[in-house]
Amino acid sequence: MQLRYNFRVYPTPAQQDSLARAFGCARVVFNDGLRLRQQAREAGEKYVSDGELSRRLITEARAMPERAWLAEVSSVVLQQALADLNTAYRNFFASLSGKRKGCKAAPPRFRSRKDNRQAIRFTKNARFKVLDNGCLRLPKVGDLEVRWSRTLPSEPSSVTIIRDAAGRYFASFVVTTRTDETLPPIASEVGIDLGLTHFAVMSDGTKIAAPKFLRRATRKLKRLQQDLSRKAKGSNNRKKAVVRVARAHARVADTRRDWQHKLSTTLIRDNQAVYVEDLCVTGLGRTKLAKSVHDAGWASFTGMLEYKAARYGRTFARADRFFPSTRMCSDCARINDKMALDVRAWDCPCGSHHDRDVNAARNIRAAGRADLNDRGAQVRPGLVPAPRREGVTRRELVPSGV
């Protein structure tokens, strides 16, 4: 399977200028391609093909005086910008026809130089190279210093250079992992009930407290936001304040991601099968608990469990979101009436006393052991996730949820 390995890079001031030039050229080519296709549609002309876009916006444009500066960057960067545009259009058309599952994809939109995140991609034909001294050599950029935290399992097929809102630079390598990484089988299985009071409650009764990284950083973020609001728009001090706010948010996100990686790795290593509930995070994000829901990061955590299970030969499944895991007795399978959120423990007429979250985790584990069990729980089989792409496809806002 393909995975991404991200590493921090430290370009020199001259290399930062070269990367900024590459970011701008890729953005211009992307916008030119989008504008050309929109104009063709408005004029009633046929859809402009991918090859036609490449010929007109790269090959011919670099020979024109007004676009001669496109030759200052690698042509692969420009080709990949058009590839992102084509991917965005394909996702949009597939969403319209119903072939693409999930949220509806909106048509691609123009990229802005004011976007907080900028990225360019180099593929193998760009002939990027990881040198023996640990530097990353990029065409027309130079040798970038990379902070290696681990070794790459195989030769990368592409590398994406990313500049985030905090002004940090990252190199994201796409590599193919080995097939001999399967962990030795073990007998234990676990069902996980995700929540806000406790981040995760296991079917064996283990409870993991919610770290609440965003809540703990609220005071500092509030002070930085107030400091930002006092700066004059367009001033250099305001730009510096924006970066300080972005760095504070990046620190929260990095801490949460590191904690989730450690927890998900432990769960996959210690259990042969992991079952979770398919939560509608998008819908919960529109409630009064939205801040706590986004702070928990359930979607990213379950995504880590899914791809790590596929990588190490474990079983992963999601119980249907409408499965009454909380109201069902894990001993007699009786479904009781709805309970308020403040009811943390309840008694079943069969005589069993249940902790609300532990009982739900046990039911999720029972539901995950079969595709369709006799209690009506629908289980979605685990899938190997596709690698993340950089195509600019936007989601439409639908008030009814996903």
DSSP class per residue in 281-292: HHHHTTSTTHHH
| 71 and 212, same domain (yes or no) | no
CA-based angle 368:369:374, to the nearest 5? 90
Binning pLDDT at 50, 70 and 90, where does residue 280 land?
confident
Within a domain: residue 226?
A: yes
User: Residue 377 pLDDT > 60, yes or no?
Assistant: no
Task: Compute the distance between CA of residue 257 and CA of residue 208 in angstroms, rounded to an integer.
Answer: 16
| 231 and 306, same domain (yes or no) | yes
Q: Which of 246, 3, 257, 25 is nearest to 116 (CA)?
A: 246
Reported pTM: 0.84
User: Residue 376 pLDDT > 60, yes or no?
Assistant: no
CB 34 within 8 A of CB 89: no
| 60 and 106, same domain (yes or no) | yes
Within a domain: residue 386?
A: no
Within a domain: residue 19?
A: yes
Instruction: Answer with the one of 154, 176, 198 that is the final residue of a domain.
Output: 176
Average pLDDT of span 190-214: 93
User: Residue 172 pLDDT > 50, yes or no?
Assistant: yes
| 25 and 159, same domain (yes or no) | yes
| 236 and 90, same domain (yes or no) | no
Share of the chain above pLDDT 90, in %: 71
Average pLDDT of span 341-346: 84
CB 221 within 8 A of CB 245: yes
Average pLDDT of span 39-49: 93
- Out of 32, 295, 306, 357, which one is annotated catalytic? 357
How many separate domains does the chain show? 2
Is 227 annotated as catalytic? Answer: no
- Out of 32, 84, 193, 306, which one is annotated catalytic? 193
| 269 and 154, same domain (yes or no) | no
| 170 and 197, same domain (yes or no) | no
| 77 and 201, same domain (yes or no) | no
- Out of 277, 278, 331, 355, which one is annotated catalytic? 277
Average pLDDT of span 178-204: 89
* Secondary structure (3-state) at 173: strand
Instruction: Answer with the one of 128, 143, 176 that is the final residue of a domain.
Output: 176
Instruction: Answer with the one of 141, 176, 211 that is the final residue of a domain.
Output: 176
| 115 and 140, same domain (yes or no) | yes
Within a domain: residue 384?
A: no
Within a domain: residue 393?
A: no
Burial class (CB within 10 angstroms; exposed 0-12, middle 13-18, buried 19+) of 330:
buried
For the record, the structure tokens of 266 come out as: 């432990």
Least confident of 12-21, 158-167, 387-396: 387-396
Within a domain: residue 359?
A: yes
| 159 and 251, same domain (yes or no) | no
Average pLDDT of span 179-192: 88
Is 357 annotated as catalytic? Answer: yes
Is 374 annotated as catalytic? Answer: no
| Residues whose CB is less than 8 angstroms from the CB of residue 376 and which lie 6 or more positions away in sequence, other chains included | 323
| 79 and 32, same domain (yes or no) | yes
Within a domain: residue 377?
A: no
Helix (H) or strand (E) holding 246: helix 236-270
Within a domain: residue 59?
A: yes
Task: Compute the distance between CA of residue 319 and CA of residue 386 in angstroms, rounded to an integer.
Answer: 21
For the record, the structure tokens of 336 come out as: 């009781």
User: Residue 388 pLDDT > 90, yes or no?
Assistant: no
Q: Residue 267 is part of which domain span?
A: 189-369
| 145 and 268, same domain (yes or no) | no
